[in-house]
Structure 1
Amino acid sequence: MCEIFMEKIFYQKLFSAICDAIDVAKSVETENQSYNIFEVLKIQDKEVLICRLLGDLLDPSGRHCLGEKPLAIFLRQIGYDRAFSSEELRSARVVLEEVIDENRRIDLVIYVKNFVLPIEVKIWAGDQKNQLRDYYFHFEKENQSHIDKICYLTPDGREPSPYSCNGLSLDQIQILSFRDDIAAWLDEVLGVVENQRIRTTLEEFREVIKSMYKENRIFNELIDILKLGKDDGFLSNDAIKAVVAILSANENEQLWENIRRAYLRHALRFDTSEYELVDDDRRVKDGHSIFVVKKQGKTVAWICVDTNLYIVAERIKTENRGCWSGDNDYYWRYLCPNGLKKTYALKKANLQILNYDSIELGEYLDEIDLSGAVVC
């Protein structure tokens, strides 16, 4: 019994962490009511695309038409103490995914005059063995360019692991964060932007950075709780056991089906003195039915989910048939929460169930012709 009790505590803590993640996602959504194309494309999950955008903004020849201004602001923002003239900055080059030995690639490399500033970006990917060390000494061996530091850019400004540095001192690394350095840089660049289209793009990118940092913080906290860092190896523990159990339970969607069933029992609104919902484990209607709606023991309708939530009935009152789709075999209509005038996707896990707790069913049941209802 003690072991079962302890397992329940771990699950409760895990669910608490998941709720925190949901609250963060909802707060970001609430703060940003505008349509953000970067959010739609989930650019915050794609390091390559983020590096391309950063690279173009830093490139004096980029499509932003701001010349060397973004690069000059960036170098000043990070405290790079080399003094360059405007002409030298205008001649700067920004290289994406520069290939070095063994076909490895550095995310961003800035060349100004005879100086080089490599930038390694880490959002979700982990550090690689000797990565920063090898990158730094690759440029140090180059005779054409001088390297002062290598930049290590992450959402929250965390330090690189010894696994990546392997003897490289922190004096040789410039630690940067999207949260502080890139956000502040974008704020200052916005101060010199006049083109409204470019301004909107940068503002949307800044919003993505904000959500990226919050998501990354939660992700790193979970990694820490689960002890999945490179230095931890793999230690079997109760937290991992809880996560794996949840993932396994949802592999065939049984977990979501149970959540969805409980949610619909709570949310569907109808006269419970006349009708009842009965679990349809046999999935009678096309394999999609979740509940049978019954009245005095007779089957009236089926509540179904294919991609979206809908109701199926075999007979509809003549005056109401225009509102239903189907033919003489059966009729159907989408069911939506009150206030949501569109389809309601419930085949896969959907966080919208946290926002809508009322789905009108009674008015649809009133449109059904009960003359042919049978006991089953």
Structure 2
Amino acid sequence: MTIVVHIDLGKEWRGGQRQVYYLIEEQIKRTGLQIYLASPYNTPLLTKVKQNFTNVKTIGLYSSFEFDLRNIFKLYSYLNKKDFNIILHTHDAKGAGLGYILKKIFPHIKLIHTRRVSYKIKKIWAKRKYYSADLIVGVSKDICTALKLEGLNGKIVYIPSSIKKQRYVVKKDNRWHNPLRLGVIGALSPQKGHELLLRTLVKLNLDFELWIIGSGKLERFLQNLVHSLQLTNKVKFLGFVESNKVLSQLDILIVPSVDGEGSSATIKEGWASGVPVIASDLEANLELIKPNINGLIFKRKDPSSLLELIKKLLNNSELYEKLKATGLQEVNQYSPVAMEQAYWKIYNKNI
């Protein structure tokens, strides 16, 4: 019997938590595999798994603090089983810290970290917890490269994030809205590039509206920026909405990320919805977007290039159709089944 204990200390329901959910959903179909999920009490991830997968043991933790002794004691009985093959799989930075401590207590377990951001690992403590892993999964090649620069070469595997294509409604009407409807989806946080996008769109001499879909700490700042740029009548803050509820209503999806991104779920969601994607030239985006084939790329150092690309799409219906059709094909390679099979392969290698 193999036991897999997933740890995610995030309290939100974002891309990383959705990936854990998809992975568990596929893993429970395997025989001889017992799945546990440890996450703080009442988090959306823990609640959804508990409600939908009755054969998964959910472990409610006391906090998202990686050094919380109560969490360690709570997990003790689940990991103190030397007669079983145990894989401890962490999915966020704080979870990786908790995993490091548990590995010290239970050296017989195999520790796997999944890293979803490409930021440089700066702190000594942060480096130590990644060095302790038996294997580290980077969800983009850019993340894998960053990890190799930290001296972790022999421990790194690339497994891209997945998307459940059937959740999305494909945009069928290829007529443009009037005004042109642009959209940006993601947490309202600095790396997502909302400020860059707003300061660029103020120069767009077309009748348009921008839907900002997501919530986060920058909401008030961005609302004030919209007011100061005199874009109040053009920008709508929709708050957190599941992307599959709104994507097919957009004309163009913009992904203006400025740093730190992993394997962009938003780009894949645009593909699955048949909505053309214009993304920044961030390395992780370039892994997915082939310019003029499945999307378009603008330069972060020359954001005015975004304006030219919007006009290019408006004036080229053939390109619009090509991006839509290619994206719908491209997204097939990122299924949850393919992701789970890749993880199963590395699990077996480390048992």
Q: Normalising to structure 2: TM-score of the pair?
A: 0.28
Q: Answer 1 or 2: higher relative contact order, Cα 8 Å, separation at least 6.
A: 2
Which structure: larger Rg?
1
